[in-house]
Amino acid sequence: MDINDIQSLISHGESKTVEYKKSVAELEKLGKSISGMLNVKGGYGFIGITDSGKIIGTEVNDSTKKKITEFCNHFDPWPNLEIDYIPVPDTDKYVIAFCCKFSKESGPFTFKSRTYVKTESGIAPMPSEKYKQLLLEHAGVSKVWESMFANSYSLDDLDHDEIIRTVKIGLKEERVPQDEYTENIKEILTHFDLMENDKLNNAAMVLFAKKMPADYSQCFMRMGRFVDETMDEAIDSKQIRGNAFQLLSEAQDFVKRHLPISSRFDPNQFERIDETALPLLAIREAIINAIVHRDYSKHSGDISLIIFNNSLEIHNVGHLYGGLTVDQLSHKHPSRRRNERIAQVFFARKLIDRWGGGTGRIFRLCAEHELPNPIFSEESDGFLVRFLFKEPIGPQKPTQKEKMFIDLTPRQQQLMTMLGTRQKLTFKEIMSIMENPPSERTIRNDLTELRNKGLIISEGLGRGAIWKIKSE
């Protein structure tokens, strides 16, 4: 490195990867910044440059070098620093340059027993949860949790239909080789590294548990629809413990139920175009990321999906993994997976790809719908994605009938929508209209429950009875 290299590095001022100080007297301030850079992505620190970016250099003697040695001793672990003394032309002074090399295998780094992170706006203490996570990653704990044996659980505790469905989807999408197709549950789980020596691992339970046991408290999602961020007025709320695909399905249903739909006409086509207030594919991508990348080694906390009048937020337990930073998410970046086995199954079902393009897809979809860019941020205990609406979605408060509708199951809501559209239907007509209808008994039970709630009425007896919405 020479003086021209330094001028090039500081030409745009201080940043997440560049910090400079005027003199050795400011070594402690520089140490905090270097610690922050080592914990994020590396960078450069300089002594001998003014706040305005003017290179003035500093005297370097034995006392200076002793201070530099003592300075390095304040880091823990010992940092991968390259220290260079670059002469300033036409003077007897030097710029002291510190090249900070980031390594995801090392750290987290402390300076004088404190941890820091470097941001565009400056240096900040690292949140304690982030520090704990980095320690766990360094020890390998958060990564190996999914491979640990699920003691006391067996094949009988898994949803075999969902497992076979996974293989069939993978086959159709050409993500499972034809010659590996089987409907033998044990062979499928072994193929996906979810079973070893006839023992299930934690990833198998997260993905396919038939009924999620209470000791898997991580597999929990909390959903809410609120008027504003005070969360005083709850329009709807739901909590569910379940396997990964149950959580994904419930979250998608909740979002569809609460996002308003607007309609428009394209002059180049006859059909009406219906659009939701946010692109469903972008929200789905964010929900999938939350499920796949959650830090399951932490039993406390849950995935939360909250809809306000102005925004939709998805919060996940666990910070970005493997050295990824928030800034990298809006650009092409390497895929870093904490949960390889869980990710592998989601890949087979074509719910994710291998190249880390999910967040870029979220930005692109929001741009196509002329929406503000989503906001990604690391919170004290995890990661947050925030989508912003073009305008508030309302309503302020639901009516009593709307509250009753919200509490219905998705199938019962479908029945209500059908009867509201067609005005009246026989049981036979209901069965013929429904997509993938369940058994007749199930539908009859749903109709009876809706009638008991006072939402619908029936006229006539037996199979010839007519069902319709109860008038006000």
**Same domain, yes or no, for 230 and 378?**
yes
- Residue 458 and residue 468: Cα distance in Å, rounded? 6
Asked if residue 417 belongs to a domain, the reply is: yes
**Same domain, yes or no, for 246 and 364?**
yes
pLDDT tops 70 at residue 271: no
> In the predicted model, what is the mean pLDDT of residues 318-334?
72
* pLDDT value, residue 39: 82
At 224 the three-state DSSP class reads strand
**Same domain, yes or no, for 32 and 110?**
yes
Assess contact for 299 and 322: CB atoms under 8 A: no
Task: Give me the number of domains the chain comprises.
Answer: 3
Asked if residue 144 belongs to a domain, the reply is: no
**Domain boundary, last residue among 340, 360, 388:** 388
Task: Give the pLDDT confidence of 394-425 residue by residue, as tens digits.
Answer: 754 555 665 666 677 878 888 887 777 667 88
Q: Which residues of 52-83 are buried (b: 16+ CB within 10 A; e: fewer)?
A: eeebebbebeeebeeebeebeebbeeebbbee
- Residue 190 and residue 341: Cα distance in Å, rounded? 11
The lowest-confidence range among 77-81, 327-331, 338-342, 467-471 is 327-331
* pLDDT value, residue 201: 93
pLDDT tops 60 at residue 29: yes
**What proportion of the chain, given as a percentage, has pLDDT over 70?**
87
**Same domain, yes or no, for 228 and 350?**
yes
> In the predicted model, what is the mean pLDDT of residues 228-256?
89
* pLDDT value, residue 266: 55
Task: Give the pLDDT confidence of 107-165 residue by residue, as tens digits.
Answer: 788 888 788 887 766 788 887 767 766 766 665 555 678 888 998 899 999 999 999 99
* pLDDT value, residue 269: 58
pLDDT tops 90 at residue 209: yes
Cβ atoms within 10 A of the Cβ of 327, count?
14
**Same domain, yes or no, for 239 and 381?**
yes
Single-letter amino acid, residue 173: E
**Same domain, yes or no, for 226 and 339?**
yes
pTM (whole model) above 0.75: no
Which comes out higher in pLDDT, residue 457 or 304? 304
Instruction: Give me the domain span that covers residue 372.
Output: 220-388
> Would you call 138 exposed, middle or buried from its count of C-beta atoms within 10 A (0-12, 13-18, 19+)?
middle
